Structure 1
Amino acid sequence: MDLPTRDIGQYIAKRANIVVKAAIMAANDQGELLLIQHAEQGHWRIPVGEMRPGETIEGAALRELWEETGWTTESMSFESLYSGPELRQVHANGDEEYYVIALFKARIILDHLVEARVNSDAGLKFFDPNALPPMNSISQTLLEQSGLK
């Protein structure tokens, strides 16, 4: 952010927006959960992203799985819808986003392409649900509320 924008920003009212997101708990045949590691911050998370205008929430979940992992799934089921003050992000400029997140479950069919990407530089790994690594707060909240963690 350049200086004039930063200086003007302090006089503009902060905004709060509601953002619809889709998240997907993808597991392999052994029931291990697929997580993505954040390249800069190091924490792990489930695939999650914003729904786009004109897109179904199911379509958003499938797109996020594809964009973040390069994989698709043939079977996906709706788990639950989550919202609340714990699903919120405050940006550096003071703006807030409150999330409404549709959580889906899916199975990843392991093939040579999946196996080549897991545990590689791609930052993808399957974890036993009882031994999950440190995760970002959104993923942590979703997994706790879904009863997984």
Structure 2
Amino acid sequence: MNPPARDLAQYIANRSHIVVKAAVRAENEQGELLLIQHAEHGHWRIPAGQMRPGEAIEDTAHRELWEETGWTTDHMTLEGLHSGPNLRHLHASGDEEYFVIAMFRAHIVQDSLVESRVNSEAGLKFFDLKSLPRLNDLSRLLLRYSEIE
């Protein structure tokens, strides 16, 4: 007889992991912030993602900007490195991740390619810093660290 999975869970230790991420605070010439809308939840967020093994954190930031927006930038500046108990994600399984996040700042030059994707079905938009939409928790926290909000 096999015991139910919920009974086995009490014998399996929960795991804690440290996850390194890069986030990009990308702005246009007017100082507006680039955000990406989450298709399912409707909230907005800054480009961010997990560092891959063997990858430099700067390369992670460039890759995430490219993967999530289709845009590149010639120059990114490291704005800060954030970690701590506020950057914790608890999974339903009980496992937890503690994030170490490098926050970069980038400048997006608005050309015809940028204009064609902003405000389109791509879910990308520039927002004035005084009128930001509903952000996901991680973006809100990172922007607070950057003193935007």
TM-score w.r.t. the length of structure 2 is: 0.93
- Of 7-16 and 64-73, more deviation after overlay is shown by 7-16
Instruction: Report deviation, 1:99.
Output: 0.3
The residue number in structure 2 matching 1:97 is 97
The residue number in structure 2 matching 1:68 is 68
Secondary structure at the residue paired with 2:139? Answer: helix
Secondary structure at the residue paired with 1:24? Answer: strand
The residue number in structure 2 matching 1:52 is 52
Structure 2: 5+ residue runs without aligned partners?
A: none
Q: Separation in 1 of the partners of 2:97 and 2:71?
A: 28
Q: Separation in 2 of the partners of 1:110 and 1:39?
A: 24
Superposition map of 1:118-137 within 5 A: 118-137=118-137
Secondary structure at the residue paired with 1:102? Answer: strand
Q: Separation in 1 of the partners of 2:19 and 2:114?
A: 31
Q: Separation in 2 of the partners of 1:93 and 1:52?
A: 23
The residue number in structure 2 matching 1:112 is 112
The count of residues paired between Structure 1 and Structure 2 equals 146
Secondary structure at the residue paired with 2:64? Answer: helix
The residue number in structure 2 matching 1:144 is 144
The share of aligned pairs that are identical, in percent, is 66
The residue number in structure 2 matching 1:40 is 40
Q: Which amino acid in 1 is paired with 2:121?
A: D
TM-score w.r.t. the length of structure 1 is: 0.93
Q: Separation in 2 of the partners of 1:106 and 1:59?
A: 13
Q: Which amino acid in 2 is paired with 1:51?
A: M
Q: Separation in 2 of the partners of 1:6 and 1:127?
A: 46
Secondary structure at the residue paired with 1:58? Answer: helix
Q: Separation in 2 of the partners of 1:30 and 1:102?
A: 24
Structure 1: 5+ residue runs without aligned partners?
A: none
Instruction: Report deviation, 1:109.
Output: 1.2
The residue number in structure 2 matching 1:27 is 27
Q: Which amino acid in 1 is paired with 2:83?
A: S
Secondary structure at the residue paired with 1:36? Answer: strand
Q: Separation in 2 of the partners of 1:15 and 1:66?
A: 32
- Of 55-64 and 106-115, more deviation after overlay is shown by 106-115
CA root-mean-square deviation:
1.4
